[in-house]
Amino acid sequence: MRRKTFRNYGTCVALILMYMSFGQNSAETLLFVGSYTDGQKSDGIHVYSLQTDGSLTERYKQSDLVNASFVAVSPNGKYLYSVTESKLEEDGSVSAFKIQSASGKLTFLNKQTTHGRNPVHLNIYNDGKYIVSGNYSDAVVNIYECAADGSLKPSSQLMEFSGSSVVSPNQDVAHAHSTNFSPDGKYLYVMDLGADKIHAFKFNEKNTPKLEAFDKGTYAAKPGSGPRHFAFHPNGKYGYCINELNGTITTFTYKQGILEPIAADFSYAEERENYQGADIHVSPDGKFLYASNRGENTLAIFAIAENSGNLKLVGHEPTFGDHPRSFVIDPSGKYLVVANQVTGNLVTFKRDVKTGKLTKLPKEIQLKAPASLKMKEYSKH
């Protein structure tokens, strides 16, 4: 009898320790929101915690920033980088912050100039050692090296672009709207909305300069397309570019630095006089692609063919707000959050991981001009 009691007691202790260990190591997902602030110091970045039911709880806000309109999180989750002073008449900047994951608090580290007006995008190298910024008004791309403490060293390389295309005034001059490192980290691509090009560069961190032109890999888009944002498939074989000005998504195969176009799909539900394609992301499992369509205010949902990378339209979901500039899929793939810039609301959807379809959740967050969303999962210790 005593032996039986002792065994039961030991089992209980083991179960308690197991549950305690599970609770200590359970994950928390933080949502980082960058916003326009009308050119004045204000609440430029908000940090939220994504709850298990898909709701968002505010954890922190950075209240002394000007137009923090695009944010990026380092691969290790320790640092956040944001464009600042965007959409002004003077040169913008990139600011670095340390993230305290337990509280969501941000600590400002430093900032560096972008040597151009209106920085609109940041891209982080695979190991987090380098940051690339893209400027819209002045088509300038900078590469920065990150110090050991996460702060930014001055730009070590600056590239200026020129050119134009057929849609005026959007394409009267070049616009470096975004940049993407290739999945293997050997190449960098610049989406030039103004010149209808995707510029390709070889990247070698052992060289100075790090980026060298790779003309063989540069892609000339159909005139009037306006390449804006790009997303690689998790398998590294395919890439997808949302074209702002003609409402399409171009599908590419990727191999050894070459983007080979294989298809173009219409992203909008209906034809319009003007298109404003915005953001694009692939689900973590690689089965679905989503794109935001401003003006129409919808999210396009596509299934991705496993063997070819081609897209098949699943449907469109309204964003329940105006001007869906940015959206993000949480690391688990269960939820999608969209930022409607003009109406200022964050809307959360539950994803059906089998069909890709979205179901709106009732709770919304109201902010001023949210423009960029990023998520990162953290382990609780």
| 155-172 pLDDT per residue, tens | 999 999 999 999 999 999
Ranges of residues in the chain with a pLDDT under 50 are 1-7, 13-25
pLDDT of residue 125: 96
Domain annotation covers residue 294: yes
Residues 340, 122: Cα–Cα separation, whole Å: 20
Q: Which domain holds residue 352?
A: 274-375
Q: What CA–CA distances, in Å, run from 179 to 116, 187, 189, 280, 362? A: 16, 10, 5, 13, 35
Domain annotation covers residue 90: no
Domain annotation covers residue 293: yes
pLDDT per position as a tens digit, 191-239: 999 999 999 999 999 999 999 999 999 999 999 999 999 999 999 999 9
Torsion of CA 77, 144, 182, 287, to 10 degrees: 30
pLDDT of residue 27: 87
Q: How many CB atoms lie within 10 A of CB 208?
A: 8
Q: Which residues pair with 248 in a beta bridge?
A: 243, 266
Total domains present in the chain: 1
Residue burial 241-271, b: 16+ Cβ < 10 Å; e: rest: bbbbbbbbbbbbebeebebeeeebbebbeee
Domain annotation covers residue 291: yes
Residues 195, 176: Cα–Cα separation, whole Å: 9
Q: Which of 80, 76, 142 is nearest to 377 (CA)?
A: 76
pLDDT of residue 380: 77
Domain annotation covers residue 240: no
Residue type, 273: E
pLDDT of residue 381: 61
pLDDT of residue 8: 54
Element (H, E) at 16: helix 2-25
Residues 6+ apart with CB under 8 A from 3: none
Domain annotation covers residue 77: no
pTM above 0.75, yes or no: yes
Domain annotation covers residue 307: yes
Tokens, residue 370: 């949210």
Tokens, residue 235: 């398998």
Q: C-alpha angle with apex 26: 25 to 30, nearest 5 degrees?
A: 120
Domain annotation covers residue 297: yes
pLDDT of residue 251: 98
Residues 293, 369: Cα–Cα separation, whole Å: 17
Tokens, residue 213: 């032109």
Residue 317 is part of a domain; what is its CATH number?
Answer: 2.120.10.30
pLDDT of residue 1: 42
Tally of residues, the chain: 381
